[in-house]
Amino acid sequence: MITKASLLSILLAQPLANAFAPLIFTSSLKSTSKDSSALHAENGIWNTAGSFGKGKFRFYEGFESYMEPFPDEDRQLYPEMFKLPEGVYEVKLAKPCGILFEEIEPNRGVYIQDLVDGGNAARQGVLQNGDVLVGMTAVQISGAKWERRLIPARKFGFDLVVSAIGSNEEKWGCNNVILMVERPGEADAEEVEKFLAFFEPPADTPWKLPV
């Protein structure tokens, strides 16, 4: 049976108001973990208000390309930060994704309940039933500037997931949405959390959502 929430995930409803609304950054990067604080890409990762929408990290196109700006020194010192943890998969999907999401707890966390037969996710063949959503791309805009980032999504409820998916629009240069999932039985949840800390927005930036 397809629930109302599941049907929304197929149709990819429009973003909910204010979930990913026009916002302005107010601070620079602050480290969130020992590993991530040691990495030092040019100009930092999180932009201040004046540099919002600029730089090498403004548009997330995939994990490998996102990590390219970091120097060889970082790759040698922190090799674990330059590969996805075991049991974590990143996929690029055209919309509609063809995924039936179900909440793990009320308004906190979602997993893949099922894939729509013949849908984009099913045809790609990477995602599986039971995979837990732990990261996804979303777009934030500020005036004429915008950014697309990968943000940790383990604590997102269904509505916020739908809003984030919907924000990946063609008018912002997005021809896909990127999802990062954790596969139970393969992934070490602790290691995944350490990895995701690198993508966690600083607490005093608009990208930091109240979840």
| Spatial separation of the C-alpha atoms in residues 116 and 132, rounded to whole Å | 17
Please state the pTM of the whole predicted model.
Answer: 0.79
Please write down the HEC assignment for all residues of 16-66: CCCCCCCCCCCCCCCCCCHHHHHCCCCCCCCCCHHHCCCCCCCECCCHHHH
| Pairing outcome for strands 88-93 and 99-105 | unpaired
**Residue 10, number of CB atoms within 10 A of its CB:** 16
In this prediction, residue 52 carries a pLDDT of: 72
pLDDT along the chain (211 residues), means of 10: 39 40 31 42 58 82 93 91 96 96 95 97 96 96 85 94 94 95 96 92 65 60
36 within 8 A of 20, measured Cβ to Cβ: no
| Spatial separation of the C-alpha atoms in residues 138 and 163, rounded to whole Å | 8
